Amino acid sequence: MGKVLKEAGGDVQEAIDCTYYTAGEGRRLHGFTTKAEMPNKYAMCERQPVGICGLITPFNFPMAIPSWKLIPALVCGNTVVIKSGEDVPLSALNLFKACEEAGIPKGVVNLVNGHGAEVGAPLVGHEDIRLISFTGSTDTGRIIAEQCARNNKIVSLEMGGKNAIIVMDDADIDNAVEGSLWGAFGTSGQRCTASSRLVVHKKVYKKFVEKFVERVKKLRVGNGLEAKTDVGPVINQAAMDKILSYIEIGQKEDRATLACGGKRLTKGEYKNGYFIEPTVFTDVKAGMRIEQEEIFGPVTAIIPFSTLDEAIDIVNGVKYGLSSAIYTQDVNQAFYATQELYTGIVYVNSATIGAEVHLPFGGTKGTGNGHREAGTQVLDIFSEWKSIYVDYSGKLQKAQIDEVEI
For residue 26, what are the β-bridge partners?
Answer: none
305, 199 contact by CB (below 8 A):
yes
User: Hey, what domains does the chain have and what are their CATH numbers?
Assistant: 5-159+368-390 (3.40.605.10), 164-348 (3.40.309.10)
pLDDT in tens, the chain (406 residues): 999 999 999 999 999 999 999 999 999 999 999 999 899 999 999 999 999 999 999 999 999 999 999 999 999 999 999 999 999 999 999 999 999 999 999 999 999 999 988 999 999 999 999 999 999 999 999 999 999 999 999 999 999 999 999 999 999 999 999 999 999 999 999 999 999 999 999 999 999 999 999 999 999 999 999 999 999 999 999 999 999 999 999 999 777 999 999 999 999 999 989 999 999 999 999 999 999 999 999 999 999 999 999 999 999 999 999 999 999 999 999 999 999 999 999 999 999 999 999 999 999 999 999 999 999 999 999 999 999 999 999 999 987 787 655 5
How would you classify the pairing of strands 323-327 and 279-282?
Answer: unpaired
Segment holding 382, helix H or strand E = helix 379-382
- Active-site positions read 158, 192
Residues 327 and 179: beta-carbon distance below 8 Å: yes
Hey, which residues does 165 pair with through a beta bridge? 198, 325
